[in-house]
Amino acid sequence: MSTTTSQDFATAIQAKVPRPRHGHGPEPLSGYTVLCSDRSRAADVALRHLSCLGARTLRRPGADGDPETLDVIPPGHSDPVLSCRVSWSCDGVPGLADETAVQAATGVMAVHGRRTGAPERLPLDYASACAGVLAVQGVLAALVARERGTPVARTGTSVAHAALMTVSQYLAAATADEDEVLPGDDLRAGPPFRSRDGVWFEAEALDPRPWRAFWTELDVPMQDIGRGWQPFVLRYPKAVSPLPPSLSRAVAARDYAEIADAAARAGLSLCRVRTVAERRADPGLLTGDGTVAGPWRLTPYDTAGNAPAPAVRAPRADRPLEGITVVEAGRRIQGPLATHVLGLLGADVVRVEPPGGDPLRGMPPMSGDCSARFLALNKGKRVLQADLKTDGGRADVVELARGADAFLHNWAPGKAAVFGLDSDDLAAVNPRLVYAYSSGWGDALGDEPPLGTDFMAQAHSGLSDMMGTDGVPRTSLMTLIDVLGGLVAAEGVLAGLLLRERTGAGTRVDSSLLSASTVLQYEALEQAPDRRVRGCAKPPLTDLTGPWPTADGPLALSVSSYTETGRLCAALGVDPDLTGDRLRAEVAARLLERTAASWRGLLAGAGVTATEVVTDLATLHDTPVARHALTRAECVFVTAPWRFEA
């Protein structure tokens, strides 16, 4: 599968590649070259990240090579030694060739649409962006294996498998022993909130006391305050947040300054929904050439050569991190997902939990004696119970880190230093350790930031603004940034491990939910603010993409051009000269006349992609799209999303 260049082209590449800078800067791919052809959204993310890690990215000459494959040339070579293929489907399933189709077929639309009561397309190329990160993880893991003696030559992943990873917790809950219960009140009554003076904002509390104090000060009836707490705190696992309408009315009657003062007194965190333009203006976001930096920061220790590399056995090709130990002190989603990914790559993960175990082990729905959602992120990890408030508990973690390869946590800011478990503390006992801190905000919001959680990051980053319509921002209650933050954190750890293999020195890796959000915003943040179309132009293309009701269930149309719109109109018997709401109304009426499966076949013959929307995640295990990417044990789990071959 590896594509070679012509000898002349290879010679030219070799002459331009700088020599590896061992121990002189945080670039684990210094001296590497990556070749590509056409760039999909997933490939674009992958190439950006590989470039940020030091690789030189070049386009193949002419039309050579598979457009879905990236070829990696290491220092001292003229031809690729590793290829990475990023396809749309897990096993060549026909019909999956775009983001809309993938979201429909993997349950992403179903989960994102819970807050409105019907499947809805996530208005971002989310699955593709996640697939790009997974592709980089596969490349880095393969290169780590090669440094350790296993000549991995091919790796790959798919956008569909990436999408399944993003809904893995919801899928586990849907297939648990217990039935999952979703709130049934007004689904549209949840956040973000709007103040009297027109400010949209998110609110966050992880404890009921600030929640109660805040709404009490705003004169909300105590009954509604209590009734709203559970759906608010459970919006993360359930992706819905139906709050009593009295809460929205209370903030709508006050200006934002008054609301912020009340929140400060109560200890409730607020985050104003910002625009993309505001995010673009953040100091340090854009580099000198106007591009967004990578979502992680690598800081190697100045300890190269102080700790000899232990003798290791070469890993199996399909488990490239075999023999590597990762210690995780993670909470909720971001940290546990990061080490779950490393475990799927073959690492031995040891999870640090408080005495008595992580309380989230008991979160319904249960599968056996454990939460299905918890199992989705933590199955197979070993556990060390340690009280980090005691000297003995902290000493146990230090001893564990002494023999580990990586340590990852997502504690609140300053906690690692309080525990004596910061990077300097652990590097002193293990100079080869890759130390990863996966935070909410990084250092972007100062020493006392608001709570750094998924929906707060969506608001501050401008993602809520990007997903909004008609000036009304929309925060997805699917845990977009928690998941992407975990994937980015794992990507950073793999970069640190490769850098260590090449230099001998350990590395600190910093990433955050806020930095992960940029993976979904590269083009929006880098484009010039003034994008007016000048001269003659066609009328705006009517948006027909996404799920539509049919006689028996929703059908997602992939229509992104005038040509595809014309094909759709011809197949449906709709006047192609209609535009806007009139065209949408005609399309909606016609689609109700037949079943989703019937329309899918008819539209495929007309050259229009139409995909039946999965509405019940419990049925995913039996679909062709997901069958080979899922496995059933206590509940349904998503398998490792890469393939590796020597």
On the question of pLDDT at 1 being above 50, the answer is no
Whichever domain contains 568, its CATH number is 3.30.1540
Please indicate, yes or no, whether residues 430 and 487 belong to a single structural domain of this protein: yes
Is 418 among the domain residues?
Answer: yes
Residues 354 and 503 in one domain: yes
Q: Which residues are catalytic?
A: 482
The H or E element containing residue 326 is strand 325-329
- Shared domain check, 416 and 314: yes
pLDDT tens track for 379-391: 999 999 999 999 9
* Farthest-apart Cα atoms in the chain, separation: 77
> Do 315 and 248 reside in the same domain of the chain?
no
Is pTM, for the whole model, over 0.85? yes
For the stretch 425-460, pLDDT in tens is 999 999 999 999 999 999 999 888 999 999 999 999
Shared domain check, 554 and 515:
no
Question: What is the pLDDT, as a whole number, of residue 308?
Answer: 67
Same domain, 343 and 488: yes
**Which domain does 44 fall in, by range?**
7-164
Predicted confidence band at 60 (pLDDT cuts at 50, 70, 90)? Answer: confident
Overall average pLDDT of the 534-544 stretch: 71
Answer for the pair 337, 347: CB distance below 8 angstroms, yes or no: no
511 and 403, same structural domain?
A: yes
Backbone angles phi, psi at 272, to 5 degrees: -70, 140
Pairing of strands 56-59, 33-36: parallel
Q: Which residues contact 261 (CB under 8 A, 6 or more apart)?
A: none
Do 522 and 552 lie in one domain? The reply is: no
Q: What is the pLDDT of residues 238-253, one digit of tens each?
A: 999 889 999 999 999 9
Number of domains in the chain: 4
Q: What is the CATH number of the domain that holds 81?
A: 3.40.50.10540
Angle in degrees, CA 57, 62, 67, rounded to 5: 60
Q: Are residues 11 and 74 in the same domain?
A: yes
Determine contact, residues 371/360, Cβ cutoff 8 Å: yes
Give tens-digit pLDDT for 111-163. Answer: 999 988 899 999 999 999 999 999 999 999 999 999 999 999 999 999 999 99
> DSSP state, 625?
T
pLDDT value at residue 70: 95
Residue 603 belongs to a domain: yes
CA pseudo-torsion sign 519, 525, 527, 532: positive
Kindly state the tokens that stand for 426. Answer: 């652990």
Please report whether residue 277 resides in a domain.
Answer: no
The answer to whether residue 641 sits within a structural domain is: no
Residue 36 token pair: 């590509």
CA-based nearest residue to 88, from 170, 152, 156:
156
Tell me how far apart the alpha carbons of residues 496 and 299 are, in angstroms, rounded to a whole number: 9
Provide the CA 190 distance to its chain's centre, in angstroms.
Answer: 23
Domain match, 354 and 495 both: yes
What are residue 200's DSSP bridge partners?
194
